[in-house]
Amino acid sequence: MTANKWVYSFGNGAADGEGSMKNLLGGKGAGLAEMSRLGLPVPPGFTITTEVCTHYYANAQTYPADLKPAVETAVAAIGKTVGAGFGDAKNPLLVSVRSGARVSMPGMMDTVLNLGLNTATTEGLAKLTGDARFAYDSYRRFIHMYSDVVLGVDHAGFEAIMDDARDTKGVELDTELDAEDLKIIAEQFKARVQEELGRPFPEDVNEQLWGAVGAVFGSWNSHRAITYRKLNNFPEEWGTAVTVQAMVFGNRGETSATGVAFTRDPATGEKIFYGEFLINAQGEDVVAGIRTPQPISKAVRERQGGRRPSMEEAMPQAYAELKAIGDRLEAHHRDMQDVEFTVQEGKLYMLQARAGKRTAEAALRIAIDMEKEGLIDRDTALLRVDPAALDQLLHPTLDPDAPRTQIAAGLGASPGAATGEAVFTAEEAEKIAAEGRAVILVRTETSPEDIHGMHAAKGILTARGGMTSHAAVVARGMGRPCVSGAGMMKIDVTKGEMFVGSTTVKRGDIITIDGAAGLVFLGAVKMRQPELTGDFATLMEWADVARRLKVRANADTETDAATARKFGAEGIGLCRTEHMFFEPDRILAVRQMILAEEKEAREAALAKLLPMQCGDFEAIFAAMAGYPVTIRLLDPPLHEFLPQKEEEIAEVAAAAGTSPAKLRARAIALHEANPMLGHRGCRLGITYPEIYEMQARAIFEAALAVAARGVKLAPVEIMIPLVGFKSELDFLKSRIDAVAVGIRGCPAYSVGTMIELPRAALRAGEIAVTAEFFSFGTNDLTQTTLGVSRDDAAGFLGEYVGKGLIPRDPFVSIDQDGVGELIRIASERGRMTRKNLKLGICGEHGGDPASIKFCHDSGLDYVSCSPFRVPVARLAAAQAALRK
């Protein structure tokens, strides 16, 4: 049996791995291996595979027995390549340690730089380089990072020491501290660790290395990593890799720098070399937002109105080499690249290359542009855009004509606009958002610990950081508007206040941010709804050619129907008539109908409702103009329509000519212990057939009225809800047919049913004798199959997902093994009876990409979702067809 290979080396123009091995080496390790194979300037290193992480958690957090010698061999190989020794006091090898899952995860361990420094090696580094300031700057950075991310010592204490040192010397920047200052700071840092942990900061370089490796694997199950996995549905068993790499130094003076670059603008997709860098700095300074960086290119600097030189101007030779490498990597991978680099004393080194994270707007533009450039084909372009991310393009933007009061400006880090209450901690954001209130999370800078608050917030605003800071990257990934680097803001988290000049914003005050322009406004600003034009329209056209599934919308009003058409819906898959009954001008008649004890009184009340329902259906038919409309007859239990407050009871009783006591008694009589499984759906129609007869008449008369106006009309689809027995459907269809017979020139129509009960799915063959179409009501079918109330499930289903008992909330994405099996059974049995039986779904799952793929694979004809999810469904349906 061949022993597992736990360690893969790279560098010096060669690599054990390659770019396709992301599952094993993580995105970072695979990217470094591929760049090494391409002969790019990559510092040597090695990657410990994700399989070690899996072993670590499967074996009581222990390593494979043969891992340590493999790591020792790999470290020695790095030392041989660079001509240094790990722990050698005279010529020390220093390394970085980074986490690297197969996809970028903000919740993972932060990078540790300069590992291998201790008292002796720092002195040796100072003598070797002749630069004591550089050596002690690197040492204090290492102690700070290692103590924070590996030892768990809060970084605030280190920041306080740095603040005191700058204040004592009367300087503003770390770069103004000299070697002696930094040496004292390093000793103070170590004293802080001793005080906090009761043990000294580790001097042994191997202890340092294995501590960092263990911290990477430990971070895979940290709270923030688990949160991120849940938000993105990444499985726990993926694990993370660890990459160890020889250090190169961007803090060697004015000819050294570090930065992050994108081969295209990650916010807009524009084909421009984009990014940020800092002279005389290390990588964490850029991404952590500690210093606000400078643009990479001159064009971007000029566009932003910056005064400090771009890298193109300050380091033209290194910039030209970096730009050439970026172009080469993009052509090689046929995708926009995100690269990290360091310039050490004028020489460029590449530290990472991966497919860059991008906003939905950028993903769209990049996919379209690359297809036009011939880099990718049309199918690849369609597969490049995440359907769920299209929601980002459907968010409002600020109305350009709306009045506004600007109070601050920063960088437009993630597009879109948001209004909400200002909050200053992630915990506040999560708590207030849970109460249904919109919040804007305001921070000096965000960190991975803030991820839950960022997810809860409508938008994010930071005082520090650039376009590649934590706040910017995470906000873009989540689709949240974000303004970063608004340096004129001063934030007091304790008091819950933000100061901008003479303006004070307190906790709970309303602010608005424009994540595209990088602007902050006091109060609410009027928003403008998005339109599907340009690249979006092009992608949708391509998607419509590629997909087989039709996409309809769930729409109950003329406005909903018009919105659905605007977003490309090909009909209405669910029109819920009960929503119409709650309108103020008709709820009284509905209540009179419910209170009536005799059929004649019910019919009198229904006669009042008939023209109202006619008007509703006319407006919807006209809006859909020739596209099919599926109308579900009354579904919910009657008690939902009755008043609860005493003043409402008195008003309804007076209008109905009865007493409040009688009304209360009727409400009590209608009350059910479990109404969702009670007297609702077709059961109402059977008990009170006059209700469904009125609705059928309203549908037919509305269709005739619209046709008389010359509006094209598709055959009307009438849907009977909650059928479990063929006899129920037979009874109600006969009543609908009788109404149709009595209407002169009655329009074409079909009668079908919602499959919402397991019995209906299992007896679909016989139900299809009567039903001309099935629409799977997956919300209720999930409830009745799992025996779980969706109204109560939130209290425990999250625990199920968190503990790995189920992969996803079944009310968000179809339970393909259980509910999905019933859908497949019903489809197969229904079509055995009626070969051309139309099949679709109309639950919330109709807008979920994974559920849409299931529907495609299962042979359904259409999905129906909320109007704003229609573009998502169109693209997801296209991707399902392409992947099939």
Given a contact cutoff of 8 angstroms between Cβ atoms, the answer to whether 86 and 46 are in contact is no
Per the annotation, the verdict on 223 as an active-site residue is: no
* End-to-end Cα spacing for the chain: 37
Buried b / exposed e over 414-438, threshold 16 CB at 10 Å, is: bbbbbbbbbbbbbebbbebbeeeee
**Residue 355 is inside which H or E element, if any?**
strand 347-355
Q: Give the C-alpha separation, 419 to 805, whole Å.
A: 37
638: tokens are: 């009657």
CB 74 within 8 A of CB 7: yes
Of 452, 470, 845, 856, which is the active-site residue? 470
Residue with tokens 């002690």: 136
Spatial CA neighbour of 106 closest among 469, 452, 454, 448:
448
Measured CA to CA, the distance from residue 239 to residue 24 in angstroms comes to 9
Strand partners, 361: none
269 to 82, 298, 324, 672: CA distances (angstroms): 38, 18, 19, 55
Beta strands in 733-794 (DSSP E): 749-755, 773-776
Main-chain dihedrals φ then ψ at residue 727, nearest 5 degrees: -60, -35
Beta strands in 49-184 (DSSP E): 95-101, 112-115
Q: Quick one: residue 793, left, alpha or beta (phi over 0 = left, psi -120 to 50 = alpha)?
A: alpha
Question: Pick the catalytic residue: 53, 575, 682, 842?
Answer: 842
Helix axes 778-786, 819-833, angle to 10 degrees: 120
Smallest CA-to-CA distance from 78 within 21, 12, 30 is with: 12
333 is catalytic: no
Spatial distance between the Cα atoms of 369 and 364, rounded to a whole number of angstroms: 9
The CA distance from 780 to 763, in Å, is 17
Angle at 547 between CA 546 and CA 552, to 5 degrees: 140
3-class DSSP string for 404-429: CEEEEECEEEECCEEEEEEECCHHHH
Identity of residue 569: A
- Whole-number Å distance between alpha carbons of 200 and 92: 21
What b/e sequence results for 754-765 when a residue is b if at least 16 CB atoms lie within 10 Å of its CB, and e otherwise?
bbbbbebbebbb
Structure tokens at 378: 């049309």
Cα(136)–Cα(155) distance, rounded to whole angstroms?
Answer: 18
Tell me the C-alpha distance between 868 and 845, whole Å.
Answer: 14
Beta bridge partners, 775, equal 754, 840
Contact between residue 243 and residue 97 where contact means Cβ atoms under 8 Å apart: yes
242/482 Cα distance (integer angstroms): 31
Contact between 239 and 216 (Cβ < 8 Å): no
What are the DSSP E strand ranges found in 200-303?
A: 240-246, 257-262, 274-279, 294-295
Catalytic residue annotation:
470, 842
